[in-house]
Chains A and B, each alone.
Chain A
Amino acid sequence: MLGTLRRDPAWLILALIAIGLLGIFLVWPLAGMLGKSFVGADGRADLGGYVRFFSDPSYREVFFNTLILGAAVTVTSMLLGGGLAFVVARCRFPLAGLVTALPLITLVIPDVVVAAAWLLLLGKQGLINSWLAPLGIELPSLYSWWGLVYVMTLNNYVYAFVAVLVGLKSMDRNLEEAALSLGRPLGHVLTGVTLPLLLPSVFAGALIVFTHVIGSFGVPAILGARTPVLAVKAYNEFVSEMGGNPQMQTTMASLLVFLGAGLLLVQKFVVERRQFQMESGRSPLALEVRGWRAMVASAAVMLTVALSLLPAVIVVITAFTPSVGPVLRYGGFTLAHLQYALVRAPEPLYNSLFLASIATVAGVVFSVASAYLIVKRKSALTNALDVLVMLPLTIAGTVLGIALINAFNTGWLVLTGTWIIMALAYFLRRMPTSVRAAAGPLHNLKDSIEEASMSLGVSPLRSFYKVVLPVIGPSVIAAAVLMWVTTLSELSATVVLYFGGMNTMPIEIFQQIDSGRLALACAYSLVLLMTIFIPLALARWIFKLKVGTIE
């Protein structure tokens, strides 16, 4: 039950503290919210919320919109990301190396910035339409299904790409060679041997994308006026709480939780069970591609990378472009927007930096201790911790925000309307990634190193500090950088939790887009990009840490 925790009470206490913290700040709010969804206006337990949700066509539509959007973006992301991964892993051609930049690009450019950029480019008053107008052509509206799917695919395909690429790289070359040597043609080998082995990675990637899409707020809130989805609808219901229905708000948030939990179960019991252990680490050799095929492949890679990078370019240009009201005068140059974002109204920058710093420090300390407990002190207790730590991955930011605000607006602990609740949300949302990052090197670290230190007379906690921490140090710093940059771009929980005077940069961008001031949105976006990019660049190129790389 307790494993080696029984031997080292110091770690047992830490494990209990970690579980206690997550119990109070994660499980309790979620349970409270789920509970509320089953309580009617008269205070009695009923299923009214769910009955109404599924009988009222306007709510039902929201549910199906969410599922359809999730499925559509998952399919397109798998096709784009998976296809790209396959081509890059198995073929050699010029410029194939460009794809290594993709994870970094995705990290650096927040979703809301991507949405803003594509609005500038493809929106009704966008650049492309203004060029096409004299010809009497108009692009279909970006505020539509295709616009949503297009922008969200560009936001998510990299997750599919990384999942499939990692799967392909861990493939054992000998398996294919064995099949070939047994007289099978290459085509049969790829479909009969390689593909089945790759399926777990494909499913894992698809699940990540699907979870992201159904939980995402920024892009559907900006582009999805005509196609409401759960995360946005729950938020709207929440904002209009005075007139709205608290049961409906928690019902929708709970539905998202059930969806996420269902996916987690699928992941645990279907996908992970099918994971194969590969014998040797030698991945299959890439095939040299020449001639027109190489040109097509290079062009495809270049196009994908360009499409991913384009939002940053647009944002940089627009941030310096003069504007009169909502109309942008491209070709001109002004520092006014940037001056506004940095000098006249820099609060969002300060707020973001402040909250990200707090959440990162707390998150890294917590993550390192939790990762150690989960990896090195396996027991029933730390297994429970493992489940709790990964729970936030399945919970949409909006949902977490609603749960936290409901739990902490009255009672013994009031946090609503303070920066603490925002930092708490960031901590909870980004901590799972940090735990994973810290857990990686711990898996490779032998228990005996720590045991050697203890046998030489150093106490368990000091042994951790003296011999374990130095070994996993670089990964911990990488995890901290990752936590920092992803926290800066957090929008979906913030939108529920922020209050007057506590605007963060993504909130400011979101609001500026909403009120049509795209140039200002771009100025804030540029500032946000820089706060994310600079630490990442330092970590990666100066300190040689693995952040935003394909593992």
Chain B
Amino acid sequence: MQVSFQSIAQSYGGQQLFKQLDLTLPSGKFFTLLGPSGCGKTTLLRMLGGFVRPDAGRILFGNDDVTNVPVHKRGVGMVFQDYALFPDRSVLANVSYGLSARNVGKDEANDRALAMLKRVDLADFADRAPARLSGGQRQRVAMARALVIEPKLLLLDEPLSALDVKLRVELRSMIRELQIEAGITTVFVTHDQEEALAMSDLIAVMDRGRIVQLGEPRDIYTRPATAFAADFVGNANLIQITRELGETADGLRRLDTPAGIVLTDSKAPVQTGSMLVVRSEEMLLGDAGPIEDGELAGVVEHVEFRGSITGYQVRTGAGLLRVELRTTQHGRTRHRGDSVTLALPRNAHIVQAA
């Protein structure tokens, strides 16, 4: 089912959050709203659930206007950050809760709930109280409870953020598998860019009530639309461009920055406030020496060994740049205080400040 927001406006305590927001989520896709806290992603999700009524605008499920349809008649499944399992009911009773509300007979409800529990590998825990489950298990029960009612739309409100890193990685592939299998339109809210990139068909990057960029994970990462998107997704280095200096013989644009001259094949126009996006894993570290175009001189200020990756912070004329190198691939280890040369990629992207 396709879901759309039409000209949504919403304010909180005199502060306008959304002004004229339009957004369409294609049917059957895993759609992620990604942004920092306060950007409005949760409010959008709660509007779909019916928990928040927009001040103005419409919400459509397919062609039906559901703006004024109350929560319990929307037929959406929702998974909450804090699991929201009913503490006084068993796991099975939690999962069959929505079915009995739909007048499904008790036996059938139990059968379907049990089948769903099997699907999330929790059939053996059917009689347990939620309090006696681990965090990951609870979230799987919550998933089963939301899916068993065969909702037209599945809403996931930061379902993984209360879990530890290892579980989070495990559970996200399970959620994605369940979603693909059910072919259900899913909206996922998160502030974790890695989660968003790993799970989504489509990502909407949000900032202060606006959708900054809408696209597939790969595009969002490689071609961020604004400095904000570049910074929020993938923690890019942003280098201020002061002016354009023309082209090299092989057709690359020469751009002046406070740290030196850089080269890029990006076609985006350069205006005041334009910045060059350089991912930390795209740079190479070399010995200090004469600087050519496309290279920056710097001094290592901080070294962090993280196992497979070694992270550096290098002080340059454009500020502190983060560099990440695969431990097994880069040659000599640099130390704090070493002078180095940074080689920049030729395909770095130009963005405008938001």
- A residues at B contact (CB < 8 Å): 4, 6-8, 446, 448-449, 451-460, 463, 467, 470-471
Contacts and interface: CB of A to CB of B under 8 A. Distances in A.
B165 interface: no
B80 A457 contact: no
Given A7-B53, A448-B80, A454 B86 contact: no
A456 B88 contact: no
Nearest to B83: A448
Interface stretch (B67-75, B316-324, B340-348): B67-75
B309 to A, nearest CB: 36
Per CB-CB distance, the 9 closest pairs between chain A and chain B, nearest first, are A456-B98, A448-B84, A452-B84, A454-B71, A457-B101, A448-B80, A455-B78, A458-B101, A470-B88
Specify the main secondary structure of chain A where it touches its partner: helix
A458 B74 CA distance: 11
A463 B72 contact: yes
Given A7-B51, A7-B53, A456-B145, A451 B80 contact: yes
B101 A452 contact: no
B76 interface: yes
Given A452-B80, A454-B50, A455-B155, 20 more contacts: A7-B50, A448-B81, A448-B84, A449-B87, A451-B49, A451-B71, A451-B80, A452-B145, A453-B86, A454-B71, A455-B77, A455-B78, A456-B72, A456-B145, A457-B101, A458-B72, A459-B72, A460-B72, A470-B88, A471-B88
B149 interface: yes
A457 B84 contact: no
B97 interface: yes
A7, A8, A451, A452 pick with most chain B CB within 10 angstroms: A452
Nearest to B78: A455
B102 interface: yes
Contact of A448 (B70, B82, B98, B102): B82
Contacts of B88: 470-471
A466 to B, nearest CB: 8
B53 to A, nearest CB: 6
Interface residues of B, number: 31
Contacts of B102: 457
A467 B74 contact: no
B273 to A, nearest CB: 40
Contacts of B101: 456-458
A8 B149 contact: no
18 contacts: A4-B51, A7-B51, A448-B84, A451-B51, A452-B85, A454-B50, A454-B70, A455-B71, A455-B74, A455-B76, A455-B146, A456-B101, A456-B145, A456-B146, A457-B98, A458-B72, A458-B98, A471-B88
B23 to A, nearest CB: 21
B88 to A, nearest CB: 5
A248 to B, nearest CB: 48
A378 to B, nearest CB: 12
B102 to A, nearest CB: 6
A4 B47 CA distance: 12
B192 to A, nearest CB: 19
Contacts of A446: 82, 84
Contacts of B145: 452, 456
A319 B80 CA distance: 61
A460 B50 CA distance: 12
Contacts of A455: 49-50, 71-72, 74, 76-78, 146, 155
A258 B86 CA distance: 46
B71, B78, B86, B142 pick with most chain A CB within 10 angstroms: B71
Contacts of A471: 87-88
B39 to A, nearest CB: 20
Interface of B: 49-53, 70-78, 80-82, 84-88, 97-98, 101-102, 142, 145-146, 149, 155
A454 B97 CA distance: 11
B72, B98, B146 pick with most chain A CB within 10 angstroms: B72
B86 A7 contact: no
A452 B84 CA distance: 7
Nearest to A451: B51
B84 A454 contact: no
B72 A457 contact: yes
B199 to A, nearest CB: 21
B50, B98, B101, B142 pick with most chain A CB within 10 angstroms: B101
B70 A8 contact: yes
A8 B81 CA distance: 23
B86 A449 contact: yes
B78 A451 contact: yes
A452 B157 CA distance: 12
A451 B74 CA distance: 12
Contact of B72 (A6, A448, A454): A454
A467 B86 contact: yes
Nearest to B97: A456
A8 B149 CA distance: 22
Contact of B53 (A6, A454, A458, A463): A6
A7 B50 CA distance: 8
B346 to A, nearest CB: 49
A457 B149 contact: yes
Contacts of B72: 454-460, 463
A276 B75 CA distance: 44
A313 B102 CA distance: 60
Contacts of A457: 72-73, 75, 98, 101-102, 149
Contacts of A460: 70-72
A3 to B, nearest CB: 10
Nearest to B155: A455
Contacts of A448: 80-82, 84
Contacts of B87: 449, 471
A182 B276 CA distance: 50
B67 to A, nearest CB: 11
B84 A7 contact: no
Contacts of B49: 451, 455
A347 B102 CA distance: 52
Nearest to A446: B82
B71 A7 contact: yes
Contacts of A453: 86, 97
A449 B52 CA distance: 16
A419 B185 CA distance: 61
Contacts of A452: 78, 80, 84-86, 142, 145
Nearest to A463: B72
B178 to A, nearest CB: 17
Contacts of B76: 455
Contacts of B51: 4, 7, 451
A6 B81 CA distance: 24
A446 B77 CA distance: 18
Nearest to A445: B87
A449 B84 contact: yes
A7, A448, A453, A463 pick with most chain B CB within 10 angstroms: A448
Nearest to B74: A455
Contacts of A4: 51
Nearest to A456: B98
